[in-house]
């Protein structure tokens, strides 16, 4: 099985709004797939429909060869997905450690937890220092580390990461991208990133969204960067 995840012609509504108008994409195992596109083009909605938060009205989503389109969210993620949402959504009243504890699936053992923590501290050594701190008091960069760490508390096959560098300084953003680069060896990644240049070395495949449709796809990030017309049409800053 080459593709870990497949979306086949998904039509997604939020309430009565028709948001994703028949999208199809594949996420090959072991690779990083990028979702690009302007604000409001449907990237976050795509992630949420994979997660079953907005299940598709029509079309199929297949994960590890199994259709998941009609399962409840917790059953979907328990098949091996970790989610890092766009606005971090860490639990501010809990400590960092408690945030990690509630992210671990039922039935995980102490050894499991230690193993996961070792990996997390390896990626983000700073986290050791603020493990006991209330998450609501963390800086933006620390919160983002926590949001990623939460998704690493279980042995996941697929990580859904939505705009991880948003609101971070260029240096912090670069560090985070480096960490994600190292994550590639542990999991397949589906990544949304506005600033596609910062992740160009990371991405193996990309899809460009516009108005709820996929308008372009490819496998060569440097070709994309050089394609000025395409960039201006779909990824340029619109004023």
Identify any residues that bridge with 161 across adjacent strands, giving them in sequence order.
84, 191
Alpha-helical runs (H) found in 55-195: 73-77, 96-103, 110-123, 140-151, 170-183
The length of the chain, given as a count of residues = 239
Q: What is the residue whose two structure tokens read 């917790």? A: 74
Point out which residues bind other proteins (CB under 8 A). Answer: 51, 53, 72-74, 77-78, 83, 85, 89, 91-94, 98-99, 101-103, 105-106, 150, 154
98 touches, from ligand ATP, other proteins, Mg ion, none (C-beta below 5 to 8 Å by class):
other proteins
Of the pair 5, 177, the CB lying nearest other proteins is at 5
Alpha-helical runs (H) found in the chain: 43-50, 73-77, 96-103, 110-123, 140-151, 170-183, 221-226, 228-230
Of the pair 108, 194, the CB lying nearest ligand ATP is at 194
Of the pair 86, 112, the CB lying nearest Mg ion is at 86
Whole-number Å distance between alpha carbons of 9 and 132: 45
Q: Are 202 and 181 in contact (CB under 8 A)?
A: yes
Q: Is 16 in the site for ligand ATP (CB under 6 A)?
A: no
Q: Is 165 in the site for ligand ATP (CB under 6 A)?
A: no
Of the pair 20, 100, the CB lying nearest ligand ATP is at 20
| Residues 43-62 within binding reach of ligand ATP (CB under 6 A) | 43-45
> For binding to ligand ATP (CB under 6 A), which residues are involved?
14-15, 17, 19, 37, 39-45, 86, 194
């Amino acid at each position: 099985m080459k593709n870990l995840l497949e979306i086949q012609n998904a039509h997604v509504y939020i309430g009565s709004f028709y948001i994703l108008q028949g999208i199809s994409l594949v996420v090959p195992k072991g690779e990083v797939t990028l979702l690009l596109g302007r604000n409001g083009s449907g990237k976050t909605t795509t992630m949420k429909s994979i997660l079953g938060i907005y299940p598709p009205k029509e079309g199929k989503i297949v994960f590890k060869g199994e259709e998941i389109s009609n399962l409840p969210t917790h059953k979907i993620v328990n098949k091996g997905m970790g989610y890092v949402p766009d606005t971090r959504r860490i639990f501010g009243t809990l400590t960092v450690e408690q945030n990690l504890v509630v992210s671990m699936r039922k039935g995980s053992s102490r050894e499991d937890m230690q193993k996961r923590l070792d990996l997390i501290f390896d990626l983000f050594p700073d986290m050791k220092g603020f493990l006991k701190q209330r998450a609501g008091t963390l800086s933006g960069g620390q919160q983002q580390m926590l949001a990623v760490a939460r998704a690493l508390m279980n042995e996941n096959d697929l990580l859904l990461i939505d705009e991880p560098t948003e609101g971070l300084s260029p240096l912090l953003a670069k560090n985070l991208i480096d960490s994600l680069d190292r994550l590639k060896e542990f999991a397949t990644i589906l990544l949304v990133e506005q600033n596609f240049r910062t992740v160009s070395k990371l991405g193996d495949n990309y899809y460009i969204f516009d108005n709820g449709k996929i308008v372009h796809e490819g496998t060569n990030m440097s070709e994309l960067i050089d394609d000025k017309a395409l960039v201006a049409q779909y990824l340029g800053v619109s004023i």
